[in-house]
Amino acid sequence: MAQINENYLKLPGSYLFSDIAKKVAAYQAEHPEKEVIKMGIGDVTRPLVPAVIEAMHKAVDEMGTAEGFRGYGPEQGYDFLREKIVENDYAGLGIEPDEIFVSDGAKSDCGNIGDIFGPDNKVAVCDPVYPVYVDTNAMAGRAGDFAGDKWSNLYYMPCTAENGFMPELPKEKVDMIYLCFPNNPTGETLTKEQLKSWVDYARENGSVILFDSAYEAFITEADVPHSIYEVEGAKEVAIEFRSFSKTAGFTGTRCAYTVVPKALKVNGTELNALWNRRQCTKFNGVPYVIQRAAEAVYTEEGRAQIRENIDYYLGNARIIRDALEKAGLEVYGGVNSPYVWAKTPDGMKSWDFFDKLLTEAGVVTTPGSGFGPSGEGYIRFTAFSTKENTEKAMDRITNILK
């Protein structure tokens, strides 16, 4: 008789953003006349920039010729893109093209990376946390059992207002450490000195840091590192995930990359070789057309056009911060990140405040409790809507909080 992976049966409910989508769909079905502004899921709204579109058109034309046609590409990504990534994103940091693995998304890689780690590794996550880190480890059997609001075998690192939303170093030995900075969902960041303490911990304890740097393009402050490899010794202990989704609006186009340095070894085994083996077996690579589009991100025109989009979203974040602060809420993030993290009023539960904003203001957010126990009492806003809808949403929320 066939058997299933019973770890899936331990997962509570469905994926957070699926729950939100169902609630919103039900509300819209009951109130078709109401306009709903979505500021929950981190999906961009501005179109792909002209430099990217031009590169895609050119690549499509190539694919229509015998000389330019390409079938299966290298699972690791085409050299033209890997080299551009190294030249632009890791200049001076000692990263090589064969340490770059192009993929269809940072979300995919953050989940799939667990394939190369054993089931008995002790995993540490920030709390609140991007749900993919937790759920994929639960699916792999590393999380234990779900009891109340926590998994029994995960090491939770609370990130609260009291500690400035900065996780404290584990008080016990952990093997895999997920860090996301600028952080999703809080929008907060680590300085280079703070990040160094994590690299030092990993080096001392034989741990591996899984560093999600998907939002690095939104960093505005000088003392905030864009890459963990800016810290000396990080190549020996860290894997970094990056994405074109939020940086260049590729949420539907799908392109990202993961950096696995060859200096990173576990018990003498290079993780670069293991990840390469995994990708060659389970992944057929990102389409040529998409990789040419990603390459255009690094042109002079592409950089300028994408910077304009990022500044646009950061402008929305300022609008959200200012409005919520004027409404009397405690607000965090939104300076180096497209996410704004707000404390709910009068001790209201996260889902209750979510419902209030949806039904009274027609604004979709993300309840903080969906990101973990320490997220209770908070709500997350994204700055990825249009400026017009951002201003409209803040006007509605301000009115109901008077």
pLDDT digits (tens, 9 = 90+) for 314-366: 999 999 999 999 999 999 999 999 999 999 999 999 999 999 999 999 999 99
**Distance between CA 209 and CA 189 in Å, rounded?**
16
Of 297 and 14, which is predicted with more confidence? 297
Amino acid making up residue 334: G
**Distance between CA 98 and CA 272 in Å, rounded?**
9
pLDDT band at 263 (very low <50, low <70, confident <90, very high): very high
**Distance between CA 149 and CA 349 in Å, rounded?**
14
Q: What is the pLDDT of residue 169?
A: 98
- Residue 258 tokens read as 């993961």
Name the β-bridge partners of 259. 100, 240
**Distance between CA 384 and CA 38 in Å, rounded?**
9
- Read off the pLDDT of each residue in 251-270 and give the average, rounded to a whole number: 98
Residue listed under structure tokens 């899984």: 210
Binding-site entries: 15, 42, 72, 106-107, 130, 184, 215, 243-245, 254, 284, 380
pLDDT band at 19 (very low <50, low <70, confident <90, very high): confident
- Read off the pTM: 0.96
- Read off the pLDDT of each residue in 71-96 and give the average, rounded to a whole number: 98
Q: What is the pLDDT of residue 13?
A: 74
- What does the pLDDT look like over 150-188, one tens digit per residue? 999 999 999 999 999 999 999 999 999 999 999 999 999
Predicted confidence (pLDDT) at residue 148 exceeds the cutoff of 90: no
Predicted confidence (pLDDT) at residue 41 exceeds the cutoff of 90: no
pLDDT band at 18 (very low <50, low <70, confident <90, very high): confident
Binding-site entries for substrate: 15, 42, 107, 130, 184, 284, 380
Q: What is the pLDDT of residue 15?
A: 74
Average pLDDT, the chain: 96
**Which residues are within 8 A (CB) of 4 and not within 5 positions of it... i.e. 6 or more apart?**
none
Predicted confidence (pLDDT) at residue 62 exceeds the cutoff of 90: yes
Report CA dihedral (191, 128, 116, 287) to the nearest 10 degrees: -80
Binding-site entries for pyridoxal 5'-phosphate: 72, 106-107, 130, 184, 215, 243-245, 254, 284
